[in-house]
Amino acid sequence: MTVTVAGGQGFYGDHVGSTRTLLDAGVDYLCLEALAELTLAILQKDRQRDESLGYTRDLPAYLALALPHVAEKRTKVITNAGGINPVGAGRAAVETAKRLGISGVRIATVVGDDLTGRVDELAGAGHGSLTNAETGEPWSSFPGDLLFASAYLGAGPIVSALADGADVVITGRTADPSLFLAPLVYEHGWASDDWDRLAAGIVVGHLCECSGQSTGGNPSGEWWTVPEPWNFAYPIAECEADGTAVLTKAPGTGGRVDFDTVRHQLLYEVHDPAAYVTPDVVADFTSVALDDLGDDRVRLSGVRGRPATPTYKALFTYPYGWSGESRVAFAWPDAYAKARAAAAIFRRRVEMAGHVVDDWLEEYWGVNALHGATVPLDGADEAPEVIVRLAWRCGDAATVARVGREMAPMALSAPPWGLTGTGRGMGGAPSQLMGLWPALVDKSLVDPGVAVEMVEV
């Protein structure tokens, strides 16, 4: 039996309309991957304003397209759009179905990834619990008030929801590829220790989770040859019970699926390709065989996996002050020299005004912003234009705003601008920052709190 899974979303704010081509293609499962660490910060700000929020607010738009297909039993939807409030997302899904007049649909919500109320218990559980996984600092060094904490769950709760008849499954923080692995485990009956097949499902998920990146988006090769990039395809994987799969796209869409596009995505956001750690399995991406079949079809086979680790990754977040930013463009001649001088003048003005800045970031677009020095610095003043980007972090929004106001008088009292402010300009509105504390938490401490709540509309 072939099971088709499709990646209909790669991030919060992705193009909703692209989902329609996948639904029209008749995929068995539409998976919507909506979360990133930046997304969690956005959702936290939403929840601070309104406790009923905290999920991705484009979820109803996706469901408005998908639910008619779901009601006709043509597809099922799996998404982690629940963010830090999956219960709220579940309510929004029910309201969307009712608004569309759709009934007979079972909507499942996975809860239990939220560890916010359990920090004291987890910190006292031993085993080095909640030690910062990047710095090695103990939990006693946690630098502020906890905003929220989430564990990256795996495919298991989604599989349980599907087994209970769910048509739509909404989770909070679930590892991205696990969204795609879950329907394969459920449909093909893969065992929880069938490491090679589980790893194959993770490869499928990794290739599908970033929407257009495996179908020709962001290629480092001949990007100009990708057909119809304005009509981009999102990926479809045709998956077999033995773990092999074919990655393809819907007919009549732009983009391209070939050896190059697939291998680019395979290595995206991967630290160790021989040990890609997920909650479900440790996948060996170096074992993947890619066979380009032509006609936008690439076969995946040979994937090997190793037993899953006994821990979940978890994120504990805290307030990290506020940031401001100013970007100003300078034209030739002496663009780089003028930009450096303006930055120095601005920072001196801030110092003279007595404003406390915790951190500065200073970079020069066109000279050193992306990959370090991109032109010889002794010749950088010949650059036709340079944008200086100054960002600062302060303890409160009011100080950030006062720092930004020190830039405005420089419009007439500094080196000649040549152009003007760009983006957030000459001192944009303060933006609240969130700090991240990554840790590993024993699965045995998390799993008892994970549950699936089912509602039939």
How confident is the model over 173-180, as a mean pLDDT?
A: 97
Give the list of residues 6+ apart from residue 137 with CB closer than 8 angstroms, or none.
Answer: 131
How confident is the model over 137-161, as a mean pLDDT?
A: 95
Q: Which of 216, 215, 212 is nearest to 15 (CA)?
A: 212
Residue 420 has what pLDDT?
64
Residue 314, phi then psi, degrees to nearest 5: -135, 150
How confident is the model over 126-150, as a mean pLDDT?
A: 89
Residue 366 has what pLDDT?
86
How confident is the model over 374-399, as a mean pLDDT?
A: 82
- Indicate whether 166 pLDDT > 70: yes
Residue 126 has what pLDDT?
64
Confidence of residue 370 (pLDDT cuts 50, 70, 90): confident
- Indicate whether 373 pLDDT > 80: no
How confident is the model over 241-245, as a mean pLDDT?
A: 98
Residue 374 has what pLDDT?
56
Residue 381 has what pLDDT?
66
- Indicate whether 425 pLDDT > 90: no
**376 or 36, which is more confident?**
36
Peptide bond into 319 cis (omega under 30): no
Residue 320, phi then psi, degrees to nearest 5: -125, 35
Residue 20 has what pLDDT?
92
Confidence of residue 320 (pLDDT cuts 50, 70, 90): very high
In the chain, ranges of CATH 3.30.70 domains: 316-435
Residue 93 has what pLDDT?
98
Confidence of residue 17 (pLDDT cuts 50, 70, 90): confident
Q: Which residues of 250-288 are buried (b: 16+ CB within 10 A; e: fewer)?
A: beebbbbbbebbbbbbbeeeeeeeeebbbbbbbbbbebb
Residue 265 has what pLDDT?
95
Give the list of residues 6+ apart from residue 56 with CB closer than 8 angstroms, or none.
Answer: 12, 34, 35, 39, 43, 81, 83, 89
Least confident of 4-18, 259-273, 305-319, 409-423: 409-423
Each residue's pLDDT tens digit, 201-215:
999 999 999 999 999
Most confident of 129-133, 393-397, 409-413, 430-434: 393-397
Residue 308 has what pLDDT?
98
Confidence of residue 375 (pLDDT cuts 50, 70, 90): low
How does the average pLDDT of the chain come out, rounded?
Answer: 93
Q: Which of 401, 386, 405 is nearest to 431 (CA)?
A: 401
How confident is the model over 2-21, as a mean pLDDT?
A: 94
What three-state secondary structure class fits 201? helix
- Cα-based torsion angle of the residue sequence 3, 208, 44, 131 in order, rounded to the nearest 10 degrees: 100
Q: Which residues of 353-363 are buried (b: 16+ CB within 10 A; e: fewer)?
A: eebebeeeebb
Q: Please give the Cα distance from 97 to 100 (Å, whole number).
A: 5
Residue 424 has what pLDDT?
58
- Indicate whether 160 pLDDT > 70: yes
Confidence of residue 421 (pLDDT cuts 50, 70, 90): low
Confidence of residue 221 (pLDDT cuts 50, 70, 90): confident
Share of the chain above pLDDT 90, in %: 82
β-partners of residue 306 are 282
- Indicate whether 144 pLDDT > 60: yes
Residue 95 has what pLDDT?
97
How confident is the model over 126-148, as a mean pLDDT?
A: 88
Least confident of 81-85, 227-231, 286-290, 311-315: 227-231
| CATH T-level assignment (fold) for domain 316-435 | Alpha-Beta Plaits (3.30.70)
List the Cα angle 36/42/44 in 5-degree steps.
105
How confident is the model over 185-193, as a mean pLDDT?
A: 98
How confident is the model over 399-419, as a mean pLDDT?
A: 86
pTM over 0.75: yes
Confidence of residue 384 (pLDDT cuts 50, 70, 90): confident
Least confident of 52-66, 81-95, 220-234, 310-324: 220-234
Helix, strand, coil % over all residues of the chain, rounded to 5: 35, 25, 40
